[in-house]
Amino acid sequence: MVTVTDRKRNLITDLEQSDFKVSENGIAQDIRFFGRDTDLPLRIGLLLDTSNSIRSRLSFEQEAAIDFLTKVIRRDKDMAFLMTFDNEPEVIQDFTGDVGLLAEAIHKQRAGGGTALDDAIYRASEILSNPPLPKGAEPEVRRVIVVLSDGDDNLSERALSDAIEASIRAETVVYAISTNTEWLAIDDVTRPTKYQLGEGDKVLQEFAVQTGGRVFFPYKVDDLAQSFLDIGAELRSQYFIAYAPAVPLSQGKYRRIEIQIDRKNVIVRSRKGYYPVAPTTPSGG
């Protein structure tokens, strides 16, 4: 999946196949399939940081999470699961399309303990690698992780690189919402901006960049409304590009993908690469 925006982050949805150039490991690829306005069912892993470090912001996270699910989950089509993480990740509510069940589980959470962010994303990626699929001839879904956290991991057994690799292998896009309000400029309270990234912010940004997602830095709960609208709009306004690799696949070796647009002043976001499973169907960007 590929998201294209202008410099002001407005989505660009009028591109044609001829506007795209795809390369893999530096070798140009022939696009075999191109689609726009994809509307695949969503399978979302919502990861809620409940560590002691965000105790003062937990209600901020809870309201944000419920608001997001209410806006995005479509009845009888999309599903989400809730995972919390402090000392370790824990699935609180398994996959469901019932926002009421998810909201009830979110409201019950309390803060305490360390932060095992990498372990949480690693485990969520494992779950999303085998989600419940819709019935029918084309049981395809879009896999998404939305994580609300300050990004300050201090307890994970898995390394950051392990968690990123797991999300790439699961073909999961990571959207991160930082609960860290340090280094925010609020000269204009309607448009708070991050003028310096903390270490936790950089971790969240790395997950987003490597998987083709995006990181948000809201100042208060009200600022989240537009962030969630942006996530929902992106999920429904992406391009799907598929190609058959010019060089035969070899099991396990990471392959870099680069996608360029024949248009000035645009920003292209997609996953940076993939791990082939075996010689198989065309690969998507």
Max Cα-Cα span within the chain: 54
Same domain, 58 and 122: yes
Instruction: Write out the residue range of the structural domain in which residue 202 sits.
Output: 42-235
Asked if pLDDT for residue 89 goes beyond 90, the answer is: yes
* Contact by Cβ (8 Å): 145, 124: yes
Q: CATH code at 124?
A: 3.40.50.410
Cα separation, 160 vs 256, in Å, equals 19
The conformation of residue 11, written as its DSSP 8-state character, comes to B
Task: Centre a 10 Å sphere on the Cβ of residue 29 and count the other Cβ atoms it contains.
Answer: 23
* Contact by Cβ (8 Å): 195, 187: no
Q: Which residues contact 30 (CB under 8 A, 6 or more apart)?
A: 243, 244, 246
Cα separation, 179 vs 200, in Å, equals 10
Same domain, 226 and 277: no
Asked if pLDDT for residue 240 goes beyond 60, the answer is: yes
Q: Which residues contact 144 (CB under 8 A, 6 or more apart)?
A: 42, 43, 44, 45, 172, 173, 174, 175, 235
pTM for the whole thing? 0.89
Same domain, 191 and 276: no
Report pLDDT for 183.
60
Report pLDDT for 225.
66
Cα separation, 122 vs 157, in Å, equals 10
Same domain, 14 and 79: no
Number of domains in the chain: 2
Same domain, 53 and 181: yes
In the three-class reduction of DSSP (H, G, I as helix; E, B as strand; rest coil), residue 210 is classed as: helix
Helix H, strand E, coil C: the string for 118-182 is HHHHHHHHHHHCCCCCCCCCCCCCEEEEEEEECCCCCCCCCCHHHHHHHHHHCCEEEEEEECCCC
What is the amino acid identity at position 59?
S
Same domain, 83 and 217: yes
Instruction: For residue 37, name the pLDDT band (cuts at 50, 70, 90).
Output: low
Instruction: For residue 158, name the pLDDT band (cuts at 50, 70, 90).
Output: very high
pLDDT digits (tens, 9 = 90+) for 161-201: 999 999 999 999 999 988 877 766 666 655 666 667 889 99
Report pLDDT for 145.
98
What is the amino acid identity at position 185?
A
Distances (CA, A) of 165 to 69, 155, 159, 247, 253: 26, 19, 10, 22, 12
Instruction: For residue 125, name the pLDDT band (cuts at 50, 70, 90).
Output: very high
* Mean pLDDT (whole number) for 95-103: 97
Same domain, 180 and 203: yes
